[in-house]
Chains A and B, each alone.
Chain A
């Protein structure tokens, strides 16, 4: 099924230098300090599927999104899109590759230029990639795109402030689609929206996926949204991928203790009578992460091995899990 593979992330790491200025370091005799935002993460996304990344704030979700669209550069590792890397291609190939990967940001109040008319915002990628010739054709394309996302063609003459949050996110989606991409990185696309508007946007995203055969990388902290949208889910903790499984499998049989903890923490908004378990502790600082498995201080299954050695990734029932307790069958599979 290698032809189905669209995006391949291999051993991706990203460190940020958070040291003091060198003179201070020299005088105070302090070493350089690094923050590990993404730590050796690998995953694959198949064509037409929705891959979701979940985790608490500070787990590295958004950093991975920015790495994939090449807004920041990785410290090591590779991101291959159809076998090509944005960092290694040049000229026409680079430009095509750039066009095929687009991003939708979290906050539609910040991601649209308030001084530009909506039509210009959407037309910019069309012009940049030369996808239409002449004003007339560009304007016609903008109209079709606005129509596709459920706005009217007349809206192209308005400014972003004339729209509500949900409508702005529709504009952001139209802008992303104007480059005719295959792959959309959606960084918390509905977190800033109300539930009823969220439902509209999620439905729209599914319709567009069916129509244009899009592939999504969907980043969210809301597990019920992720369950609704994703085929596969990657769970991040402190920059590393602790579990990567099929959506149904993850919710039915979470293998990593952290995934279980996340699932237990979801509020029971349907009042099905499920007891919500108390989460203990908070995510540690990525500057000075715990030794061994980074989750061990919060894990009820941790033993000495967990505090010393980093767990390797192993496979159970099609899920990729990085946990000693699960590898050594110290925890039962079904919860």
Chain B
């Protein structure tokens, strides 16, 4: 088995409050292997985006990493000094944000922004950087790239802008891209194009992607493996096909059932009763136990860790005996 590219071990992110601490990420552990696309799903507030922010070192203070380790190959990156982290960002780990409107600078042309990024990370002359920028735009599917490169962001449509953002992320030839809801602000028809570009580019460049989204359609389409998050913890990790077709954790089962089907006609959607707990009121034991239909005594007392089963890893006591 190949070495993981990124390895997150027991990551804890806390937000101090006046008297207490809110634990936003609670012992999150997962790996990303070179060239793979790992999906991160969960409801709003589950900690998906926070995981991405913690990895790339962009946690908003007072949030901070309280425990755990993040390894990028042989380098531990969770405690790097600011200047070293700054160098690493964009070069080895890049980020794609949700809203292409706000992630591009409106008063600089696309050329300015791409060339700046390229020259920050790679030793390129102005001429070479421009040529490379045009090549990148061309690869992400912007028609007439050599002409459009001198346009401003407002002259592009939403889908085209997100392509530019992908080109920007790829400029430093990173090993890992964290894509935080890259298609949420786009139409379904454009979404398909963007996912395709992302998949193709990552394949061509051998870049691993952590794809944060709440859209199961995007997950099913793009990912190799999926991690399901609930209340700051990982509920289940597994192969995408297993998660979609044969989910193990009762939460994942409910989540999959709540999506309206296109192939079958159902009268009522499966609904998970209640809502995700607030961070200051996470129940003891398994965080999902008050909403779970299959809970028993142990769920209320002991918190389940990820258990390796034949299918994948799941944090649920139902599978305790099955660990392999």
Contact = CB atoms under 8 A, between A and B. Distances in A.
Interface residues on A, range: 35 or more
B312 interface: no
B221, B254, B258 pick with most chain A CB within 10 angstroms = B258
Contact of B261 (A165, A267, A270, A282): A270
Contacts of A222: 188
B199 to A, nearest CB: 12
A225 B266 CA distance: 12
A266 B258 contact: no
Interface in A145-180: 164-167
B259 interface: yes
A299 interface: no
B218 A267 contact: yes
A70 to B, nearest CB: 28
A131 interface: no
Contacts, number: 114
Nearest to B243: A271
Interface stretch (A8-16, A110-118, A191-199): A191-199
Contacts of B260: 199, 202, 224-225, 227-228
A278 interface: yes
A221 B272 CA distance: 24
Contacts of B275: 164, 166-167, 197
A195 B190 contact: no
A221 B271 CA distance: 22
A199 B271 contact: yes
A196 B188 contact: no
Nearest to A150: B273
Contacts of A225: 260
B159 A282 contact: yes
A228 B269 contact: yes
Nearest to A282: B157
Nearest to B258: A199
B68 to A, nearest CB: 26
B192 A267 contact: yes
A89 interface: no
B23 interface: no
B86 to A, nearest CB: 34
A269 B188 contact: no
B139 to A, nearest CB: 16
B106 interface: no
Given A199-B258, A227-B260, A282-B159, A271 B187 contact: no
Interface stretch (B13-21, B209-217, B316-324): B209-217
B241 A269 contact: no
Interface string B215-258: 11111110000000000000000001100110000000011011
Interface string A180-201: 0000000000000011111110
B305 interface: no
B221 to A, nearest CB: 5
A167 to B, nearest CB: 8
Given A223-B262, A278-B193, A194 B188 contact: no
B187 A57 contact: yes
Interface in A219-235: 221-225, 227-228
Interface in A254-269: 261-262, 265-269
Contacts of B261: 224, 228, 270
Given A199-B269, A278-B196, A270 B263 contact: yes
Given A265-B189, A270-B244, A202 B269 contact: yes
A165 B257 CA distance: 20
A93 interface: no
A266 B262 contact: yes
Contacts of B244: 269-271
Contacts of A194: 43-44, 214
B217 A262 contact: no
Nearest to B270: A199
A56 interface: yes
B268 interface: yes
Contact of A221 (B160, B187, B221, B263): B187
Contacts of B271: 196, 199-200, 203
B191 interface: yes
B254 A269 contact: no
A195 B253 CA distance: 13
A179 B31 CA distance: 54
A195 B157 contact: no
Contacts of A196: 43, 254-255, 258, 271-272
Contacts of B217: 266-269
Contact of A267 (B215, B254, B269): B215
B220 A270 contact: yes
B247 to A, nearest CB: 12
Given A228-B266, A271-B244, A282-B190, 10 more contacts: A56-B187, A57-B187, A195-B255, A196-B43, A198-B258, A199-B270, A200-B272, A227-B260, A271-B240, A279-B189
25 contacts: A167-B275, A195-B255, A196-B255, A196-B271, A198-B258, A199-B260, A199-B270, A200-B272, A206-B268, A221-B188, A223-B262, A224-B260, A262-B188, A265-B192, A266-B217, A266-B262, A267-B188, A268-B217, A269-B217, A269-B221, A269-B259, A270-B244, A271-B241, A276-B192, A278-B196
Q: Lowest 10 CB-CB distances: which A-B pairs, in order?
A: A267-B217, A199-B258, A228-B260, A199-B269, A279-B189, A269-B217, A194-B43, A224-B260, A269-B216, A265-B189
Interface of A: 56-57, 164-167, 194-200, 202-203, 206, 221-225, 227-228, 251, 261-262, 265-272, 276, 278-279, 282
